[in-house]
Structure 1
């Protein structure tokens, strides 16, 4: 009887994270590293990026558009392809270029007869605005802040910790999770394929979970996705060595540690999006890569098994276990 397949993570990397008020991180965002595309750059951005990166035209390259958790959803989907035997090796991640997002001109095809002509910022329309309520996500987040466990002091503590940890890890410090450019990706393979090609198997994706909230708030989603993932393996939060949470806002990172009895010291331990910045399309893949690199760091130092949870702050979470790097 053959052994069950496992989805191993064998390598990964990311670009630097640029700021839209400064020079773009790449000239037109389809260049080395597949570093980011938004509206206006044409069809199938992942395929454009993969070809630009030297991957063959015969390789399938689907694009996911799930806002904050696109990159992490891509990693979860890649793991499923491997687990069911549809693929042996998959490159998965996310990329974003907000600095190059276009302005849109509704009505231009039919013309105007009178009054002002208004253009729409595709970044504001497609990313920070709630499609159901029409409110910016920052406003929506603030409206849900007056709740137990979400104090102004707690938010300041989360933001300060993110900055200090990123600085200690030689990250790029900031003061929020602004609109940014960047990309991150991981290479996943079946354990059999990795070992047959001489690759180490540093970590595996052991569990994933997806949830949908009762409203359009972000605050409880990290907690719920972590719980959904851990419950599939009957794990407790205390069994995790650390947790990566997508810090879209400091308020989002306030609730999970307290609600699941996980101290802030275990959350985004090398700095999160508040410090490193927040390219939307890469904002799920970047924490996943951070988790894998931390597993590598700890496994190489101790040789023991470690566990980590990576969360996209909206609806998806996965847990990775390090074997030995």
Structure 2
């Protein structure tokens, strides 16, 4: 069976807003999107992406969405309900995938595989997340309490702990910082860059090309990201206390923002794009997925990027722009050093530290962001990559079609 070139026709995302458990960059309570489930956010993003692509729902052959933490009562239906709520015909199948923080990337790769194998011409894909709706759970209640205390488990906090290595995700970043000699000051300097570049991009209106406004159930219109700190300073970051240990490195300032949001992409075969006379944003060239020790999950992008580059016969210096997920500043810096990435080419409009990290949606956002920026700069190659809890990394190599 002949393979087909896969292109990204268009994409759209909701604003990424602070989860209900935190505060916005301006200090206000978070939770702007707390009453809209991940599925509802996904439907909004998908409708926006279809509109931007000029593709009716009837032309979609398959729908694939990633989701890390299933938090709403209907979350089990995932991509299927995203599709139906977005107006995709009932006959079109849908698939929900999870590779934790790589879920949005995985959705795009799975969609590309459908197209390359000739199983579909147009696939809608992306990622969804609403961390605000993460419940508290009671384990074992179905079997009766008998004689013991009732304990509530924070579903979100529990998910951030990897029982195989016995570490919280932030503690894996501490491990990486120590092993690869990334100082607290280096992390804070990088975090400042992320907040500043995010603020600069937002003020310049760059994200308006990505974002579709969301109307909350209370009638409020949300059209902007709200996690980044526009007046962030190195002094302010340096005063933040490490969360997990007195001599640690990871703080609320140099870790990714916990946010709610969704992002959708419309993928198609290159022939289908030509037939529809749609000018694609870019082409998916290759991808790579790799495993690393769970306690070093932040290093996952290193082998994943190398696999993606090798698959396309491309060198690291050939890449014009990088979107390296900023789960933690320590992890980004260690990956940057290991791969020899020029920082001036990486996360040029901010990353998860400034924009926020709605787990399942981030990878799709990275693909959209890097393709749009490549077009603005009239550059050719970009990488979107993320570390993944449990000890994995994933990377997608993209070519802009200017």
Normalising to structure 1: TM-score of the pair?
Answer: 0.91
For 2:361 and 2:184, the matched residues in 1 are separated by 28
Closer, same or farther in 2 for the Cα pair 1:215/1:97, shift >3 Å? closer
Q: Deviations over 1:177-202 (max 9, x none)?
A: 13221111111000111110121123
Tell me which residue corresponds to 1:153.
Answer: 185
| Structure 1 alignment gaps of length 5 or more | 300-304
Among candidates 51, 56, 61, match of residue 94 of structure 2: 61
For 1:94 and 1:202, the matched residues in 2 are separated by 19
- CA contact 2:41–2:128 (8 Å) conserved in 1: no
Give the C-alpha shift of residue 52 in structure 1: 1.1
| Structure 2 alignment gaps of length 5 or more | 21-29, 45-66, 203-224, 230-252
Among candidates 31, 34, 48, match of residue 40 of structure 2: 31
1:48-87 correspondence to structure 2 within 5 Å: 48-87=81-120
Give the C-alpha shift of residue 157 in structure 1: 2.4
Give the C-alpha shift of residue 298 in structure 1: 2.3
Tell me which residue corresponds to 1:302.
Answer: none
Tell me which residue corresponds to 1:228.
Answer: 307
Tell me which residue corresponds to 2:152.
Answer: 119
For 1:131 and 1:197, the matched residues in 2 are separated by 49
Tell me which residue corresponds to 1:104.
Answer: 137
Q: Give 3-state SS (helix, strand or coil) of 2:261's partner.
A: strand
Which structure dedicates a bigger proportion of its chain to helix? 2
Q: Give 3-state SS (helix, strand or coil) of 2:332's partner.
A: coil
Tell me which residue corresponds to 1:180.
Answer: 259
Give the number of aligned pairs.
317
> Does residue 144 in structure 1 map to residue 214 in structure 2?
no
Closer, same or farther in 2 for the Cα pair 1:131/1:85, shift >3 Å? farther
Give the C-alpha shift of residue 284 in structure 1: 1.6
- CA contact 1:13–1:184 (8 Å) conserved in 2: yes
Tell me which residue corresponds to 1:291.
Answer: 370
- CA contact 1:17–1:181 (8 Å) conserved in 2: yes
Tell me which residue corresponds to 1:41.
Answer: 73
Q: Give 3-state SS (helix, strand or coil) of 2:397's partner.
A: strand
For 2:363 and 2:183, the matched residues in 1 are separated by 26
Closer, same or farther in 2 for the Cα pair 1:200/1:211, shift >3 Å? same
